Amino acid sequence: MKKNKYLIIVIIVSIILTLGLSYAFRITLKEYRNDNFRVQYDSTWKLDNDVNELKLIHKKTKSVLRIQSKELDTEYMDVSLKDIIIDIVDSIEKQNVDYKLINRKSNLNNDYESFSYLYENGMMQVLVNIYKNNNKLVIAYYEANSEYYDIVLDSVETLLNTLEIYTGTKVN
């Protein structure tokens, strides 16, 4: 009788592991690249690309991640992001007056000077990450229903950690 219980438990655990591994192998990495930046994203995101920005839609939660790049005037090339961030955030907040600032962080990325701002509007949360590399500014907007925000955030952070900003100047 004890052997039968042990055998049943082993079979159930084996089935669960097999299903889990087969699901893990279904997720594949894809790459998006343009003249300004490159990122990798997994197959849980659907590319809904626009000419001026990268737009990804999470397949299950319908959360949206947009990544845009702006080329700064040469006068800002050597200026620190912290010196111009107030103007950038002011512009974003003027366009989105219904959103309330919840949290802000600086230097979230080891490769680039960066800032992160979290906003809330009713049931929606929006994370705005701003990165600067020489004359390029990259802004990532992650918008999700509050119910799904934390669930998908890990995937967004993993994706943004692959961000590579091109400056047009290659050093060998």
Instruction: Tell me the C-alpha distance between 22 and 131, whole Å.
Output: 36
- Percent of the chain residues topping a pLDDT of 70: 87
Find, among 162, 165, 130, the residue nearest to 40 by Cα.
162
pLDDT category at 1 given cuts 50, 70, 90 is: low
CB of 165 closer than 8 Å to CB of 131: yes
Residue 171 reports pLDDT greater than 60: no
Q: Which residue bears the tokens 């800032």?
A: 115
CB of 68 closer than 8 Å to CB of 57: no
**pLDDT at site 49:** 75
pLDDT category at 167 given cuts 50, 70, 90 is: confident
- Listed by start position, the domains of the chain span 28-165
Condensed to tens digits (0 to 9), the pLDDT of residues 19-43 reads 665 455 567 899 999 889 999 999 9
CATH topology of domain 28-165: Protein Transport Mog1p; Chain A (3.40.1000)
Question: How much helix, strand and coil, in percent to the nearest 5, is found in the chain?
Answer: 35, 40, 25
**pLDDT at site 148:** 95
Condensed to tens digits (0 to 9), the pLDDT of residues 71-127 reads 888 888 788 888 888 888 888 888 888 889 999 998 767 789 999 999 999 899 999
pLDDT category at 17 given cuts 50, 70, 90 is: low
Mean pLDDT of the chain: 85
Predicted TM-score (pTM) of the model is 0.78
The torsion angle over the Cα atoms of residues 93, 99, 101 and 107, rounded to 10 degrees, is -60
Residue 143 reports pLDDT greater than 80: yes
Backbone CA torsion sign across 153, 156, 157, 158: positive
- How far is C-alpha 142 from the geometric centre of its chain's CA atoms? 6
Instruction: Tell me the C-alpha distance between 98 and 142, whole Å.
Output: 16
